[in-house]
Structures are given as C-alpha cells and as structure tokens.
Amino acid sequence: MEKRFRGPPLEQPVNVKSVSKAVMAALTGIAIARGHLTGTEQLVAPLLNDKMPARPNERLGRLTIGHLLSMQAGLERTSGPFYGRWVSSPDWVRYALSRPFVAEPGGPMLYSTGNSHLLSAILTRVTGRSTLALARAWLGDPLGMTIPPWTRDPQGIYLGGNNMQLSPRALMRFAELHRLNGRLSGQEVLPPGWVERCWTTRTSSFFTGDGHGYGWFIRDGLGPRRFYAWGFGGQMAHVIPDLSLSVVMTSDAAQRSGGAGGHAQALHDLVENSIIPAYAT
C-alpha cells in the first residue's frame, strides 16, 4: 500500500538525507565480499595515509572500518553544529581525520557524517570507481533503482552518508532487500550474513536511546523488533521482520526539524501505534 499526501510522484528521486548511511553500509558489505576490503577490522590509516595529519594521534592507528560504520570512531563529530565548518573546508577527508578525539575508538556512539564520508573515500580508492558508479552497479542495477548524482566534495568524492536521492519506491526495494536478508527476486545482492551484522546492536543513540549497528538503528521493547534507517526531516526506512513488513517514508526536509522529537517522533508513533497494529491484526 502507498499514499502520497503532497510532494513529488512516488517514483521521483528525493533527498533521503542520512538514510544514505544505510546505503553506504550496504556498499561496504559488498566491497568486503568482493575482496576490495578485508573486513570490518581493517585499519583506516593505511587506506588514507596521505590524508592523515602531520602528527596523527595514536588512536587514528586503531580506527577501523567497523568503527566508521557503527559511529564509534571517537573523533569529534562533523554533524549537527559541526557540519557547516566541515563542508566549508577545502578537503573533507583530511578535515574529518584531523578532528580531535573525544572518545576512544570503539567507545560511545558519536553520530558523524564525516565517518560515512571516510567510507566513501575508501571505497573510491580501493575500487578505482566513484561511489555513484558503485551504488548504481551494486545496488541500482540489481534492484531496478534510479540513483542520480548527488553532492561531491572538493576532491570529487561523493558525499558518504547524506544527500543521496532515491524515490520512495526505490527506498522500499532497498528496505525489502534487507528484510529478505540481502536477496531480492532470487538474486543475491548483499553477502550472506551482512544484514544481520548491520542489525547487531553495537552502541546506542544519545538522542533516542535506540541501538545502532552498521548504518541502521534498532528499536526494542515497543512491540516487534524494528530496524530503521533515518534521515534529517523525516526520511525513514523501517523493517519489521517478524511481521514480514517494510515501511518507508519521505518528507519535505526543508519544512521539518531534524531532531529526534517533533515530526520524527510523529512518524515513529505512526509506525508503532497505527501501522504495526493494523498489519498485525
């Protein structure tokens, strides 16, 4: 079932904001399966050696792909009040790596789009292809999704974790891909076990208390377990495996606040108090 209250047609790509982080997690899993990366324990520093500070903090040497995926890098955030300074810098990768450590790698969740952008830079380097090309080849083609170009940094690297555009129907196919454990229409798109790894709680959100895995949040204790990708202003993909149910929502981000309350909470309430009960009966 689908419903459009206002806005563009449901097949038109729209800015899904930080739902893009779940897309980056999917691309990272595919890159590992294809041998471009050795795994989530692979160290970041050797992959981005020329972008490291002149006198790097020793903790940069312990930073892994998994820490970037789970938002446990420990580096000062580049999201929220820090976002403007980051995207105004001449080199987004170098800037993200030069942030001071405010926690240990593997410590608490520090939500930061810079982490996802480092993944985009790494994928571009290890494959020799742009993140746009990878997204189209590894996800767009097998899922029948149109993926237009989106924001790039001054070095031409596609922004990891923000401003990607997907239509609500394409987002539904992406959600269903995860509900079906990485297979869609009989085709294996994500490697076996990757969805489970993305949906394994590794830390928790300071803003909501919900768990967080690799690019996805996990909500327990309010009905059936729910996994969701979340973007500023009310962009959401929800997967409820126990009900064989996926729900996606897009909103006009320019008209909505980006915080955990307000419109975002209203969308969570809609899923929990209306859609899930209606579907479960």
Between 220 and 223, residue with greater pLDDT: 220
Task: Assign 262 a pLDDT band (cuts: 50, 70, 90).
Answer: confident
- Architecture of the 14-280 domain: 3-Layer(aba) Sandwich (3.40)
Q: Is the pLDDT of residue 259 over 70?
A: no
Residues 55, 57, 58, 63, CA torsion sign: negative
Task: Assign 255 a pLDDT band (cuts: 50, 70, 90).
Answer: low
Which residue type sits at 265? Q
Read off the pLDDT of each residue in 168-193 and give the average, rounded to a whole number. 96
Q: Is the pLDDT of residue 256 over 60?
A: no
Between 64 and 269, residue with greater pLDDT: 64
Q: Is the pLDDT of residue 214 over 70?
A: yes
User: What is the structure's pLDDT at 125?
Assistant: 98
Task: Assign 257 a pLDDT band (cuts: 50, 70, 90).
Answer: low
User: What is the structure's pLDDT at 94?
Assistant: 98
Report the DSSP pairing between strands 203-204 and 211-212. Answer: antiparallel
Q: Is the pLDDT of residue 101 over 70?
A: yes
Q: What are phi and psi of 166, to 5 degrees?
A: -140, 145
Q: Is the pLDDT of residue 86 over 70?
A: yes
Kindly calculate the radius of gyration of the chain based on its CA atoms and give it in whole angstroms.
Answer: 18
User: What is the structure's pLDDT at 263?
Assistant: 86
pTM: 0.95
Domain-wise residue ranges, the chain: 14-280
Joined together, the tokens standing for residue 161 give 């974790």
Residue 41, helix vs strand vs coil: coil
The whole-chain average pLDDT of the chain stands at 94
